[in-house]
Amino acid sequence: MSSQKFAKVLLWLNAAVWLGFGAGYTAAPDVFASLVGAGVSRPDSVRVMTDVGVMMVGISLWYGYCALDDSRTRLGLVSAMLIGIGLCAGRLIGITMTGSANPVSVGYAGLEALNAVLLVVAVRADSRLRVASATEQ
């Protein structure tokens, strides 16, 4: 698979995941809050989790938009990489500070770390492709 195709597949996969979670957080905030052990009151959980869900849908749309055009692919990869690293770091800090982790939180952290690594690989491959293209010109 070419590095450009890998990048686009990765962006579309991220878009699909973010859309799914965004729709879930928006439509069923209590369920998604309970998955990670969030213990907030119902009105607060609905408000916060719905805000998170709508933000996730927006991020999904951004990734899809970036995947549609080769000139935006790198921008999408870098933004997905930074968001993924930030999410994973934040989750690990939260687990460390609270001293507790449920299997879902640990699973999320693992998947976020894997995604971040794949995005780093895709960004590096894109960088090498750009350098090779520039030297040919």
Domain ranges of the chain: 3-136
Task: Give pLDDT, residue 129.
Answer: 61
**Helix (H/G/I), strand (E/B), else coil: 69:** coil
Full pLDDT tens readout for the chain, 137 residues: 788 899 999 999 999 999 998 998 888 877 777 776 665 566 766 777 778 889 999 999 999 999 999 999 999 999 999 999 999 999 899 889 988 788 888 898 999 999 999 999 999 988 776 655 556 66
Global confidence as pTM: 0.82
Q: 62 is written with which tokens?
A: 């951004």
Q: How far is CA 131 from the centre of its chain?
A: 27
Q: What angle is formed at CA 22 by the lines to CA 19 and CA 25, rounded to 5 degrees?
A: 150
